[in-house]
Structure 1
């Protein structure tokens, strides 16, 4: 109990620092966000505490519309309508975001669990087991790999396959289909390598990863051609 109070006190102390030191320096920004928001990007990532979307993208409040859940999963439309589906619809149809990013990460506990959804360790987590079934197609792509034989490289590959699968699921959502058909939306998959502090961009066509630098260089070339 004391430990819980200590960690809660730490959070409250952080709030106090925000109110007295951080907010005054950005008061104008927060005042501009008081009555509306206009984020550019819907950022879908894992609930894992090691991921800080605003930190890795160096964005300010108001720039990202963030959806987090176990395994950065996007159920196919109609499969499990709820928080994720409604957030996607609102972000794309109402807020008119220009981008949707699905970001997986290294050493993902959800991917470890996905390797064997019948494992006894999930018996006490029936909701998690049911939720992860939305990623079973990514598990199938790993073939006959047994959970006990999986190493870090396998978990990483599964995490990447899962991001690609969730991008495919995104394309079943009516709001996304409509925005894509009108050329108003871009989808992109990322993999966050936590210990190396590196983001890799997943290429849906080749199913391989690319460095941020190579993608930025290509985007720069495309922008110049369009001028």
Structure 2
């Protein structure tokens, strides 16, 4: 069995002889033209998510950042990679839209429901404090007859909505929203079915995107 690096090298060769060769002019244009993505995508680091494929996005359309649990720390609490990406995307690139995208079977959300699973992962445990309020709300909304799947689905949705609230505390986002230069939305992507459910700004209801427009 080939090792991980050999598999990556094989993938590069397939890319060079396939997708790149078929779209060489597009890639060359992208290399010589400043990027102008229309959307900042904040999604989970889960290796099963390929957000460019899910959205049929071409190179240069999405400015993407990924982290455990698709979290957005409120401004000032954890200034770092996520806050820098947001500021750059809004102020330097002028994105028109920001998405916070969660997904089914999320390990971070499972960990929130089972805190002891994080005992050997202190850094992850600290990071997931940015989702703690969603966990509290989801538990308050839980019903006695709900399955574990139902509870995980609700927590995933509440987390996305919480991160949208955090997102709006960032000065660049607040300013662009006030000037109506920016919109935001929350998504949940189902790994097994390909379904994407979206809560547009101001809504807490996630509605599935249909197969046809």
Q: TM-score, normalised by structure 1?
A: 0.86
Equivalent residue number for residue 209 of structure 2? 212
Change (3 A) 1:213 1:158: same
The DSSP-based 3-state class of the residue aligned with 1:142 is helix
Query: RMSD across aligned C-alpha pairs, in angstroms?
Result: 1.9
Aligned 8 A contact 2:41 2:62 in 1:
yes
Instruction: Say how many residue pairs are matched.
Output: 208
The DSSP-based 3-state class of the residue aligned with 2:31 is coil
**Where in structure 2 are the equivalents of 1:42-61 lying within 5 Å?**
42-61=40-59
Equivalent residue number for residue 133 of structure 2? 137
Equivalent residue number for residue 224 of structure 1? none
How far apart, in 1, do the equivalents of 2:183 and 2:124 lie? 30
Return the match for 1:20 from 17, 22, 27: 17
CA drift of 1:211 comes to 2.0
Q: TM-score, normalised by structure 2?
A: 0.91
How far apart, in 2, do the equivalents of 1:48 and 1:165 lie? 19
Aligned 8 A contact 1:160 1:202 in 2:
no
Return the match for 1:68 from 66, 69, 90: 66
The DSSP-based 3-state class of the residue aligned with 1:100 is strand
Report which stretch shifted further, 205-214 or 171-180: 205-214
CA drift of 1:71 comes to 0.2
Aligned 8 A contact 1:106 1:194 in 2:
yes
1:151 is aligned to 2:148: yes
CA drift of 1:8 comes to 2.0
Structure 1 gap ranges (5+): 218-227
CA drift of 1:6 comes to 2.2
Return the match for 2:192 from 190, 195, 216: 195
Aligned 8 A contact 2:187 2:197 in 1:
yes
The DSSP-based 3-state class of the residue aligned with 2:139 is coil
CA drift of 1:202 comes to 1.8
Change (3 A) 1:206 1:180: closer
Equivalent residue number for residue 162 of structure 2? 165
The DSSP-based 3-state class of the residue aligned with 1:34 is helix
CA drift of 1:131 comes to 0.3
Structure 1 runs, 4 residues or longer, greater than 4 Å off: 203-206
